[in-house]
Amino acid sequence: MKIQTDLEIIKELAEKRERENLEFRAFLKESYMETEEMDEIVHNLYEQVINEIDCKKCGNCCREISTVMAESDIERMAKGLGLTDSEFISQYLEEDDDGFSKELVIKSLPRPFLKGNICTCYEHRPEDCRSFPHLHKDEFVFRLLGVVENYEICPIVFNVYELLKKRFSWPKKRKRGWYSS
């Protein structure tokens, strides 16, 4: 498979494949494959794709995704920017109340630290950013909704998900309301 990095094409394909991606998500969640086995497959695909894509040439996550800030992230970024924690919070963060918890997030998109496709505070970036797109983490099947949401935003996620579909010969032919193997 050719690695796709064109964000316009990825967004267009994401719209066309929305139903397919959600059905594939359901298939993966109901799979009888052990979590560790699925993680190994995803980690291998991630390593394959990450070697082909340089995140610092894209920066789309900084344009599209809010970043949750832990206390350690605030301290590190404030120090890196030469600000006190309270100055950093008042200038760049806002409280996000999702009904379950209140978190501090960077208040603007695109993020104020993005210049072109490069983060000007890359060395001090939050853990949420360091970890994105989270495909190296364990328990992939429990994070599939986020994967589907990031499919149209991140070329790495797009390509890993497409390779995963190929690995499972997706889409499978319908048989009695579900997919045959």
Mind listing the pLDDT tens digit for each residue in 37-68?
999 999 999 999 999 999 888 999 999 998 99
Residue 52 belongs to some domain of the structure: yes
Please tell me whether residues 50 and 91 are part of one structural domain.
Answer: no
Please tell me whether residues 13 and 97 are part of one structural domain.
Answer: no
Q: Which amino acid is at 77?
A: M
Q: Which two tokens stand for residue 14?
A: 């994401």
Residue 98 belongs to some domain of the structure: yes
Count of domains forming the chain? 2
pLDDT digits (tens, 9 = 90+) for 81-129: 999 999 999 999 999 877 677 899 999 999 999 999 999 999 999 999 9
Residue 125 belongs to some domain of the structure: no
Residue 80 belongs to some domain of the structure: yes
- For the chain, helix (H) and strand (E) counts, in that order, are 9, 6
What confidence category does residue 173 fall into, taking pLDDT thresholds of 50, 70 and 90?
Answer: low
Where in the sequence is the domain holding 96, given as residue range(s)?
Answer: 66-112
Q: Which amino acid is at 160?
A: V
Q: Does the pLDDT at position 172 exceed 80?
A: no
Q: What is the pTM of this model?
A: 0.89
Please tell me whether residues 137 and 162 are part of one structural domain.
Answer: yes
Residue 177 belongs to some domain of the structure: no
CA distances from 34 to 39, 112, 146 (A): 9, 41, 20
Q: Which two tokens stand for residue 151?
A: 């499919």
Q: Is 117 in contact with 56 (CB distance < 8 Å)?
A: yes
